[in-house]
Amino acid sequence: MALKQSYQINQKQLQGLVLTQSMKQSILMLQTNLLNLTDYVQDLSMANPLFDVNPTVSKQEVEMSTALENNSVSHQTLYDYLLEQVRLTMRPTSLRDVVVCLIDQLDEHGYLVKSDQELLELLPVDKITLIDAKELLFSLDPPGVGAQSLQECLILQLQARKATAQTTLALTMLEKYFDNIINHNWSTIAQHLEVSIPEVEAAFAVIQTLTPYPYTEDYDNNGYIIPELILKTNDDKLSLEVTKYGYPKIVFAQETYEQLKQSTDQETQEYIKNKYQEYQSLQRNLERRIQTIALIGRCIIEAQAPFLLQKTSELQPLLLRDVANKLDISISTVSRTINGKYLQTDFGIFELKHFFTKRSNPNSDKSVNQVQAQIKNLIDKENQQHPLSDQKLVELLAQQDIQIARRTVAKYRQQLGIVSASKRRKK
């Protein structure tokens, strides 16, 4: 089965979560980085005679740019991206641990390569727990991740979309008539489902917008970045600017619009009305994108001011839901906004999601980052002939009103790359 894979196709997949075409476009533009945003808007202009696009920066200019100097940005692997979502969206439970184990079994495209039977033999869980863990894995981005076959991958992608007559029919076809889809047996499918062949073909067109792999290397951005937020510091005061460098400039074709408006043909009048509405919607969504990024950027700056003023190297606790609740927007909107968007500071460039870190425990006002820094500080000052055990670190942290378990101290120590006390001891 020929399943065309492209930038636009992946976006149609993600747009299916919202109601109107305008909101589909708004979410798509929000989650897209600037370089791909320019490509997208230029594609729209090809189908609309009422505006042209003047890109303010090209990919070649970004590649040649020295603005980033030696600031390198490491891009996440699929494994790291999924783990980050788990960390930010799931509470620490035994079920979450199983989800992490499943992520470890994914191949480079996001497929779960082992069968359920093999997973049950590998993991100390029962069948119900495995099913629950897989459902949580399916809820992560990108859609289709955790699938064990092409058929399941396509089904998961469709299930993530808003239900329409076409998507419902396409889903039924995938679930019950997958072999017939591969062989293009439209008449057989139409007969069994009691629908017309054109309806089957329309549903197949929906299936063709899906991707055969949950994840490919081009799912992420191309490695070049343009910071959309610039942070300036003046006398311990922080100010945020939204840079429009790299934003596509929309030029309205006024003369063409006036000419077409003079037509007395009804179809032409309807056409020009629709294209003008598309132009207006595009302008609104570009502005909405800027406003949303700016609002979330300000929340981040307010929460992480000590770090951004370089008064500390540790980040404060900050969760997606904290920002979502403050701005009265959905967690998914925050997640889409921070992914692939960057803040430029005087001491480096940071992806927005860098500033999100969970609390060391639900009742603590300390982030994991802060607790790890305290552990490292205590170990750095220890007597090397009598190094601090994990239990002793627990007691010392408790004196600083940081209440965590010994096993948590051990985990944080290992994450810092610090060996156990017995291996740190010097004779």
Segment 77-93, tens digit of pLDDT: 788 888 888 877 777 88
Query: To the nearest whole number, what is the mean pLDDT of the chain?
Result: 80
As a whole number of angstroms, the distance between CA 143 and CA 160 comes to 7
Instruction: Please state the CATH superfamily assignment of the domain spanning residues 368-424 in this structure.
Output: Homeodomain-like (1.10.10.60)
Q: Are 384 and 425 in contact (CB under 8 A)?
A: yes
Tell me whether strands 51-54 and 249-252 are parallel, antiparallel or unpaired.
antiparallel
Tokens 């320019």, residue located: 38
pLDDT score for 364: 60
pLDDT score for 295: 92
pLDDT score for 72: 42
Tokens 């980085």, residue located: 33
pLDDT score for 75: 54
User: DSSP strand E in 157-277: where?
Assistant: 229-234, 237-242, 249-252
54: left (phi over 0), alpha (psi -120 to 50) or beta: beta
235: left (phi over 0), alpha (psi -120 to 50) or beta: left
pLDDT score for 14: 35
pLDDT confidence band for 360 (50 / 70 / 90): low
pLDDT confidence band for 225 (50 / 70 / 90): low
- The residues with which 231 forms a beta bridge, in sequence order, are 240
Count CB atoms within 10 A of the CB of residue 324. 18
More confident residue, 19 or 269: 269
pLDDT confidence band for 171 (50 / 70 / 90): very high
pLDDT score for 56: 58
Domains of the chain, residue spans:
32-66+222-325, 78-207, 368-424
Tokens 């001491």, residue located: 347
More confident residue, 203 or 3: 203
Instruction: Output Rg (C-alpha) for the chain, integer angstroms.
Output: 26
The mean pLDDT of 90-100, rounded to a whole number, is 86
Asked if residue 320 has pLDDT above 90, the reply is no
pLDDT score for 67: 42
Q: Are 333 and 102 in contact (CB under 8 A)?
A: no
The mean pLDDT of 114-133, rounded to a whole number, is 89
The mean pLDDT of 19-25, rounded to a whole number, is 69
Q: Using one digit for the tens of pLDDT, what is the confidence trace for 135-161?
A: 999 988 888 899 988 889 999 988 887
